A = this chain, B = another copy of it.
Amino acid sequence: MQERRWGATVVVVFATLAWTAMGAKLSRCTALPRDGGDGVGCLSWRVAVETGNLRGWRTVPRRCVRYVERYMVGGEYQRELEAVVEQIYRYMEGVVVSGDDRDAWVLDVDDTCLSNLRYYQGKRFGGEPFDPTGFRRWAERRACPAIPPMLRLVRDLVKKGFKVFLLTGRDSESLGRTTAENLHTQGFVGYERLVMRGAEYRGKSAAVFKTEARRQLVREGYRIWGNVGDQWTDLLGDHPGDRTFKLPNPMYFVP
Question: Which of the listed residues A47, A69, A155 has the most CB atoms from chain B within 10 Å of its own CB?
Answer: A47
- Give complex CA distance A22, B145 in Å: 10
In the complex, are the beta carbons of B74 and A31 less than 8 A apart?
Answer: yes
- Give complex CA distance A129, B71 in Å: 32
Copies of this chain, count: 2
The one of B11, B43, B70, B151 that contacts A11, using a Cβ cutoff of 8 Å: B151
Among A77-85, A170-178, A198-206, A211-219, the one that faces the other chain is: A77-85
In the complex, are the beta carbons of A87 and B53 less than 8 A apart?
Answer: yes
- Give complex CA distance A16, B147 in Å: 8
Q: Categorize the interface residue count of chain A.
A: 35 or more
The verdict on A180 contacting chain B, using a C-beta distance below 8 Å, is yes
- Give complex CA distance A72, B28 in Å: 11
A residues contacting B by CB (< 8 A) are 1-5, 8, 11-12, 15-16, 18-19, 22-23, 26-34, 36, 41, 43-45, 47-48, 50-55, 66, 69-76, 78-80, 83-84, 87, 115, 117-118, 121, 145-148, 151-152, 155, 180, 184, 186-187, 189-194, 243-246, 248
